[in-house]
Amino acid sequence: MRKKTNEELNRLSAEEFKKELKSPIVVVLDNVRSLNNVGSLFRTADAFRLHGLYLCGITGKPPDREIRKTALGATESVDWKYFPSTREALHELKEDGYKLCAIEQAEGAIRLDQYIPMEGEKLALIFGNEVNGVEQEIVDSCDLVIEIPQLGTKHSLNIAVSAGVVVWDLLVKLKGLK
């Protein structure tokens, strides 16, 4: 096997990316503290051509040197919005026809491997604070909770890892990867 060159990867410019059809997924960050996590989520949103990224509450926003360092230019390609509160973001998403999905460990949660999104469904995936997770008030306002099964002694994953796992899984199920 030979590693592909950058030219062979056929990368889009930020302008070309903005014109492309997007995946029907918006990632919502509910009071995420780490600017490195925010930057990583910009790269994930770019890599999977997500519809957008909603930054809420204390979540950092561009332009910021720490976000830019991890995002590696994805802040220029990915559409994003800032909301003073997550509730405001969810209200807008609900009005736009998104199914609100908290990614959290909760009673009645659906395991990620068992959740099958409906064709054409628009999903808003809410990821919470690194310490407290998704706020209970936000969980209460969601249509469902999706849980990533875990087998070790720790009961959480880094938010950027969680988002990568969930987005990949859902895009495969939505046949959004070609």
Q: What are the extents of the domains in the chain?
A: 19-173
Determine the residue type at 73.
G
The residue-averaged pLDDT of 33-49 equals 96
Beta bridge mates, 126 = 28, 102
- For residue 28, the model assigns a pLDDT of 98
pLDDT of the residue at 133? 93
The pTM (predicted TM-score) of the whole model is 0.94
Percentage of the chain lying above the pLDDT 90 cut: 79
Q: What average pLDDT does the segment 1-23 reach?
A: 86
Contacts of 37 (CB under 8 A, 6+ apart): 29, 130, 158, 159, 160
The pLDDT tens digits of the residues spanning 45-98 come to 999 999 999 999 999 999 999 999 999 989 999 999 999 999 999 999 999 999
CATH topology of domain 19-173: Alpha/beta knot (3.40.1280)
